[in-house]
Amino acid sequence: MADTMKGLKRTHYCGEVTETGQEVVVGGFVERIRNKGGLIFIVLRDRTGVVQLAFSDKSDPAVFEKASGCKSEYVLMAKGNVIERESKNDKLKTGHVEIFVTDLRILSKAETTPFEITSETKVNEELRLKYRYLDLRRAPLQQNIIKRHEIARVTREYFYENGFLEIETPMMMKSTPEGARDYLIPSRVHQGSFYALPQSPQIYKQLLMISGYDRYIQLARCFRDEDLRADRQPEFTQIDLEMSFVDAEDIQECVEGFIQRVFKEVMGIDIPVPLQRITFADAMNRFGSDKPDTRFGFEIQDITDTVKDVDFPVFRNAIVDGGTVRAINVRGGADTYTRKEIDKLIEHAKGIGAKGLAYIRWAGEPNCSFKKFLKDGELEAICNAVGAGSGDLILICADKTKTVLSTLGAVRLICGKRLGVIDENKYNFLWITEMPFFEYDEDNNTWVAAHHPFTMPMEECIEYLDSDPANVRAKAWDLVLNGTELSSGSMRITDFELQQRMFEALGMTDEEIQAKFGFLVDAYRYAAPPHGGMGIGLDRLAMIMCKADNLRDVTAFPKVQNASELMSECPSPVDKESLDVLGIMLSEKE
């Protein structure tokens, strides 16, 4: 039978025991045991760290015997005196002390765990996720979860201090188009009808502005039924905010203050403000991405004019077809990238959609993949155009501009990582502004909305809504950090007539408008202050601040690639009776 806590009350966390000459009571899990016969040392662990418990021939015999029976992951409480440790460990905060135990309680015994609970582990992640409650005992994950908590704490404090009200919005709402598939909840009372889990609180926070709550904040749970990747989970937390009587600069300035505060308080890092701003077009042209990593160079350069007379069919055909020829200069890349490695880059480029890559590898003397097509002086002109010299590698793509930019943007990142030029201790924030209002859907030969339908177009672009959608820019922006999109924001349409024009430009009928957004459209008939807002990905912010590779490393109970949770084995079937109550009948799988 397990011991009880009766008569003991924890006075210290393990990682806080640093001063000798005091009596303490600690509780935690057994990390490891060293039994040297007449001496026993137990390393006890809790969420703050570890401390060493000591037992010797001077211990109470009953206490010593109990210590000798302890095993890894047993839950203990120990009372004792803090003394100097003979064999010090300078790597630990508590490495110079130990607790000579006078009272030991074994509160719970553990079976042998499926894997060892250690900071560093090579255990298959699938096994660790199946036993997530054990994996969460490991110090790296505990530190990540604690840091995520600190980010949330600072978030609330900052926005409270700046006049924001935390208001909860419904978790069961009307299904509205938000860009991804909804998770649907069948109604028992209204059979055949469904609630949706919110992809974001977008409509509700706009209604709150109409209702007069001019500064709203919420750490909102959001749900999107879309394919997972390293920085995406089906359920996530968004630092959701909306502000009235402001413009875009006011919102961005407020968020900059938050970024500065959270990095200073949580990590002790000073982030200079204002943050850098570049337009969407500039980001695409320079980095081939709307979420560029600006911690290193290798920027994309347009060499179309330089090569327009070069008699290389790949260049010539791309230019004739209205495309461009662009290049990146991978400085110092000639030694690292052998012909075999360049071939791998070419295959990667083809996987993205490009026909391939041309290259100039300047090792000793320039080695050009299309040299036989060049006349005197043309090779030198290309090298000069991109500022290349000995030791550099020039990678060139010729195709439709969209394909060229996406290809070189991806290749640029691969080269940056391969050459080790990305400073992992650098935090480059970037505002991406003047986002395109529409995107062209080549499959259906039509223009579609790039944002939710309440996004305000820039005033100077309103006249082009019907006639020239390619030139319409939105009053929308993204916040990017080290190549990861943290947030999207925009000013909202508050003019009823302009909102109707927007719906019409998106091809929506009056019936569709009423069915999907009727209650919000009606609300705008009763006047609305100018407002805008953002949603900052708390999970992604935590992932970067924890230097984690995956959102699973900052999420307590994450889903895997197929949106299942290995520990609880959800989603799972339900019995027929439960489905009958909801009026649902499952069809047979084909």
- Rounded-to-integer distance, Cα 408 and Cα 369, Å: 17
Query: Does position 442 have pLDDT exceeding 80, yes or no?
Result: no
CB 31 within 8 A of CB 49: no
229: its two tokens: 């990747």
**Exposed (0-12), middle (13-18) or buried (19+): which is 17, by Cβ within 10 Å?**
buried
- Per-residue pLDDT, 478: 96
SS (H, E, C) 520-545: HHHHHCCCCCCEEEEEEEHHHHHHHH
Structure tokens given for 64: 């010593």
pLDDT > 80? residue 555: yes
CA atoms of 354 and 324, how far apart (whole Å) = 12
Question: Which of 446, 435, 539 shows the shortest CA–CA distance to 490?
Answer: 435
- In degrees and rounded to multiples of 5, residue 14 shows phi and psi of -55, -45
Q: Of 148, 163, 234, 157, which is closest to residue 199 (Cα–Cα)?
A: 234
Q: What percent of the chain has pLDDT over 90?
A: 81
pLDDT in tens, 243-267: 999 999 999 999 999 999 999 999 9
Overall average pLDDT of the 551-556 stretch: 95
Residue whose pair of structure tokens reads 């968004």 in the numeric block: 238
Give the residue ranges of DSSP H helices in 353-449: 378-385, 401-419
pLDDT band at 447 (very low <50, low <70, confident <90, very high): confident
- Whether the model clears a pTM of 0.85, i.e. scores above it, the answer is yes
Note the pLDDT of residue 590: 60
Q: For residue 278, give the nearest of 176, 430, 445, 401 by alpha carbon.
A: 430
Q: Do residues 322 and 409 make contact, with C-beta atoms less than 8 angstroms apart?
A: no
Predicted local distance difference test score (pLDDT) of residue 177: 66
Residue whose structure tokens are 């996530």: 236
Q: Is the pLDDT of residue 502 over 80?
A: no
Burial (CB < 10 A; 0-12, 13-18, 19+), residue 466, is exposed
Whether residue 471 is predicted with pLDDT greater than 90 in this model: the reply is: no
Tokens 């024009």 found at: 501
Tokens of 175: 């299904």
Q: Which long-range contacts (CB under 8 A, 24 or more apart) does 112-120 make?
A: 112/72, 113/72, 113/73, 116/72, 117/29, 117/31, 117/72, 117/73
* Cβ neighbours of residue 229 closer than 8 Å, sequence gap 6 or more: none
Q: Are 220 and 240 in contact (CB under 8 A)?
A: yes
- Residue found by looking up tokens 């609330």 in the block: 156
* pLDDT computed for residue 513 by the predictor: 81
| Count of positions (residues) in the chain | 590
Helix (H, G, I), strand (E, B) or coil at 99: strand
Please report the pLDDT score of residue 31 as a whole number: 96
CA-nearest of 172, 249, 241 to 213 is 241
Checking if the pLDDT of 449 tops 80, the result is: no
Integer Cα distance of 159 and 533 in angstroms: 13
- Per-residue pLDDT of 148-206, as tens digits, reads 999 999 999 999 999 999 999 999 998 876 667 899 999 999 999 999 999 999 999 99
| Residue 426 CB neighbour total at 10 angstroms | 11
pLDDT digits (tens, 9 = 90+) for 45-102: 999 999 999 999 999 999 999 999 999 999 999 999 999 999 899 999 999 999 999 9
Q: What is d(CA 241, CA 243) in angstroms, rounded to the nearest whole number?
A: 7
